[in-house]
Amino acid sequence: MPHTQIRTARCAALVGPYLAGKTTLLESLLFAAGAVTRKGSVRDGNAVGDNSPEAKARSMSTELNVASFDYLGERWSILDCPGSVELTGEAQAALMAADIAIVVAEAAPEKAVLLAPLFKMLDDHRIPHLLFINKIDALGDIRVRDVVAAYQEVSARKLVLREVPLRENGQITGLIDLVSERAWRFNPHKPSEPVALPDNARDWEAEARQAMLESAADFDDGLLEKLLEEMAPDSAELYRTLAQELADDLIVPVFFGSAENDNGIRRLLKALRHEGPEVATTAARIDLPAGTAVAAQVVKTMMGSHAGKLSLARVWRGTVTDGMTLGAERVSGLFQLFGRDQTKVPQAVAGDFVALGRLEKAATGDRLTEKADLGPPADWPAAAPPVHGLALRAENRNDEVKLSAALQKLREEDPSLTIDQSAETGELVLWGQGDVHLKLAMDRLRSRFNVAVKGQPPQVPYKETIRKGTSHHARFKRQTGGHGQFADIHVEVRPLPRGAGIQFEDGVVGGAVPRQYIPAVEAGVREAAVRGPLGFPVVDFAVTLTGGQFHAVDSSDMAFKTVARQAMADALPGCEPVLLEPMLTVTIAVPSAFTPKVQRLVSGRRGQLLGFDARPGWPGWDEVKACMPQADMQDLIVELRSLTFGVGSYSAEFERLQEVVGKAADRAVEIRRDMLAAQ
């Protein structure tokens, strides 16, 4: 349908845990709307969503997928967001551009905790959302009220049933709409059939409808007055009330269905169409700056090896045309998206979700007007702190420069990736949200940028220091043809308090070592400290040059630097060298039920518990604080998520260096020696 016939353009985001069925629901919505004539499937690899090579290889959503289509005079863009906790940043960005979120969940009370972080984010940003309980045909003997009660425990907003399932012989066979009080029988892969409300369902329906009315009346005085007077509101009024309360993020309507069998999907599509907010309402909610005729916002950045940069954006106001200036750059190509398919269009109107070509300066989150790039809004979700790292190296050494450029492009695509060129270990470390997240990045380096890389756990930046001091005399003498080399020094070495670094002092009197050679001695000391007796950089010690000798002809800066290195190499092994490991202050956030498990987890990784307290702003959650060795942190996130159904998270920062002895120290030194021997 041409743009000129479209009454409005709206956007809905599909979000929820991994395996909840979001991509299958996208296929079902597209089929119900007539946007596809035949459903694809994740299993067969022919779905509109999950069609990237990385997604097909893993049978899971690995990035945001967009499908825009026209339905009954309206344009809809459905954003299918990855459900993996490691890819949360992608989903959060999409939610910021949506008019409404469809939270997809399974009919499994034990999985309710998975939605806690998502509900919190939606409420924090006042994003209207409904709950679609998928796979209703697998409900079995579990009561609907128990499922809803479990999800209510993790939602600060009131969950309001909009429909209840029909049961026959223990099976879910249809739904009852609580507003219209009409019943439908499922007809798999076809529209449901209207049926009479069964007698055995009337009491349950009446009870559920009364609960819905009372929940809606909590925010509507007019409706409350009617209920007190035992007057039944008409359906049109009730629909308006529920739609307004949804738009204001006061309630969370609950719908049921089976995306796999196309049951309940048309009822969901109807609710979206009649009750979902429109773009003007959303633009007002996000406090879009006034005074501009055209405004759009970048939601995702895509970097192609050949096609160049694409900025996936929601148009908030006005009309965007190909070739116009937006964010002080020229739009070079305007595309409507349908999975991997990109259709060039001449313009996009308010509400459309499109791809803008070659806006080189625009970044994810940026708000673009005709004249300026306003940057992201203040409430744009910050990237989660990195929790997993891999040291990368190009399989082909000639690709080192290309690797650096490719990583920067990946970082522009995915702000939750962090690149660190470690000054301490010399490694190029890619940090992210987990093993899957980083392996996806490695796959994309190969497939998009033709850079094959290998990854391994980053080295722990151990240091070493000394426990006692010593005095040492060193002489360097070499006679060759012509001028020789000569330097002689006396030094005193002593330990310093932790964190003092390296100090060099000139204690020479009487010119035993000429002043012009003193800097060379200091340079030699510092060079020697790069690798101590245990194989690691030496810190927290002082060296005092107390005397020495020189030769008027054979002494030089190089000779004094060499003798200083020699002095340190000889002296440090006798100063009781000891290994230092970095200790981190770690804050672990989990639901309170998992706090005891987390405490055992910390203790099992040589950590010291510092205490725990309620997590601010998160009812029912705790923050456990601990001091943990960095050496025991590499796969902490994997075990933490395993213990907490995937919802546990942590942040960490360097606290101090601490002596480590025994097996842990022996193992670290042995690994270091093997690594140095292999170089």
Mean pLDDT over residues 81-105, rounded? Answer: 97
Residue 637, pLDDT > 90, answer yes
Render pLDDT for 204-214 as a digit per residue (tens, 0 to 9): 899 999 999 99
**Residue whose pair of structure tokens reads 């002043």 in the numeric block:** 515
* Percent of the chain predicted with pLDDT > 90: 86
In this prediction, residue 195 has a pLDDT band, given cuts at 50, 70 and 90, of very high
Would you tell me how many other CB atoms lie within 10 Å of the CB of residue 10?
Answer: 24
Q: Is 265:137 a contact under the CB 8 Å cutoff?
A: no
Beta pairing class for 8-15 and 74-80:
parallel
Q: Is 633:652 a contact under the CB 8 Å cutoff?
A: yes
Question: If you ran DSSP here, which 8-state letter would residue 382 be given?
Answer: P
Mean pLDDT over residues 36-57, rounded? Answer: 83
Strands (E), 199-352: 251-256, 295-303, 309-317, 319-321, 325-326, 329-330, 334-338, 341-344, 347-349
Residue 306, pLDDT > 80, answer no
The pLDDT mean for the chain works out to 94
Q: Give which of 96, 485, 89, 432 is closest to 288, Cα–Cα.
A: 96
Helix (H, G, I), strand (E, B) or coil at 72: coil
Q: Give which of 339, 370, 369, 371 is closest to 355, Cα–Cα.
A: 339
pLDDT, residue 305, reads 63
Q: Is 85:101 a contact under the CB 8 Å cutoff?
A: no
Q: Which residues touch 33 (CB under 8 Å, ≥6 apart)?
A: 69, 71, 76, 269
Compute CA distances 105 → 15, 22, 342, whole Å: 9, 9, 30
Q: Give which of 485, 676, 483 is closest to 562, Cα–Cα.
A: 485
Residue 75, pLDDT > 60, answer yes
Separation between Cα atoms, residue 560 and residue 476, nearest integer Å: 8
**Residue whose pair of structure tokens reads 């702000």 in the numeric block:** 415
Separation between Cα atoms, residue 127 and residue 130, nearest integer Å: 10
Render pLDDT for 430-459 as a digit per residue (tens, 0 to 9): 999 999 999 999 999 999 999 999 999 999
Residue 348, pLDDT > 90, answer yes
The strand pairing partners of 13, in sequence order, are: 79, 101
Q: Any idea which of 294-308, 383-397, 518-532 has the lowest mean pLDDT?
A: 294-308
Q: Give which of 465, 458, 674, 423 is closest to 580, Cα–Cα.
A: 465
Q: What is the DSSP string of 20-57?
A: S-HHHHHHHHHHHTTS-SS---TTTT--SSS-SHHHHH
Q: What is the DSSP string of 444-499?
A: HHHHHH---EEEEPPPP--EEEESS-EEEEEEEEE--SSS-EEEEEEEEEEE--TT
Question: If you ran DSSP here, which 8-state letter would residue 293 be given?
Answer: S
pLDDT, residue 52, reads 83
Strands (E), 35-124: 65-71, 74-80, 100-106
Q: Residue 462 corresponds to which tokens in the numbers above? A: 């151990």
Separation between Cα atoms, residue 54 and residue 181, nearest integer Å: 45
pLDDT, residue 164, reads 94
Beta pairing class for 502-506 and 541-549:
parallel
In this prediction, residue 176 has a pLDDT band, given cuts at 50, 70 and 90, of very high
Q: Which residues touch 479 (CB under 8 Å, ≥6 apart)?
A: none
Separation between Cα atoms, residue 565 and residue 543, nearest integer Å: 12
Q: What is the DSSP string of 322-378?
A: TT-EETTEE---EEEEETTEEEE-SEEETT-EEEEE--TT--TT-EEESS-B----T
Q: What is the DSSP string of 151-183?
A: HHTT-SSEEEESEEEEEETTEEEEEEETTTTEE
Mean pLDDT over residues 362-368, rounded? Answer: 97
Residue 2, pLDDT > 50, answer no
Residue 340, pLDDT > 50, answer yes
